[in-house]
Amino acid sequence: MSSLAEIAVPTKQLRQLCGTVLAMEAIIIGLAIPVAIVLEHLSHSVAGGVGGGLAVCALLLSGLVGRPGKAWALVAGSVLQVLIIAAGVVVPAMYILGVIFAALWVTGIWLAHSLATNPPESALASRAPASPPATSPAPDASSPVPGTPASPAPASPAPGAPRS
């Protein structure tokens, strides 16, 4: 089994995808604190301490995930997903929200790894050198034979001029 330091982590994609998931999750956790106090009648200190601690962990991990040498942040983020699902014991809506964010977390990791191993065609095309311009002139659309100049159109008389 390899250690966490040996795991190849696609930094930019992982930082963008998983960091965004964790940052949005921190907001949701913060919004769940008043719900725990008002609807579930949890004490202010417990709701603020546990909810605030989870939200701060999510924010800290959102800044660390995908950084070079910080592969452990993926494991910590995964543990955080389990803890947020477990918060459903106190606030039942966190079961659903925790599962949704856990699915986004797994999808973000999978998508970052798939983008790192198989870049999309548009990214490959943008990295390819530009082809030199064509040396032959483009054929005129009104020309009957490609490559020959078109004959000039007959001049129409000016408006109001007598016709001959």
Section 61-83 average pLDDT? 93
Q: Is 32 exposed, middle or buried (CB count within 10 Å of its CB: 0-12, 13-18, 19+)?
A: buried
User: Tell me, what amino acid is at 116?
Assistant: A
Question: pLDDT of 75-114, one tens digit each?
Answer: 999 999 999 999 999 899 999 999 999 999 999 999 988 8
pLDDT value, residue 25: 97
Q: Does the pLDDT value for residue 151 go beyond 70?
A: no
Section 151-160 average pLDDT? 65
Asked, for residue 49, whether it belongs to a domain, the answer is: yes
Asked, for residue 148, whether it belongs to a domain, the answer is: no
How many structural domains comprise the chain?
Answer: 1
* Residues 6+ positions from 160 with CB-CB distance below 8 Å: none
pLDDT bin (cut points 50, 70, 90) of residue 117 is confident
| Length, in residues, of the chain | 164
- Other C-beta atoms within 10 Å of 134: how many? 7
Asked, for residue 137, whether it belongs to a domain, the answer is: no
Domain around 79: 7-117
Q: Any idea what DSSP says for residue 71?
A: T
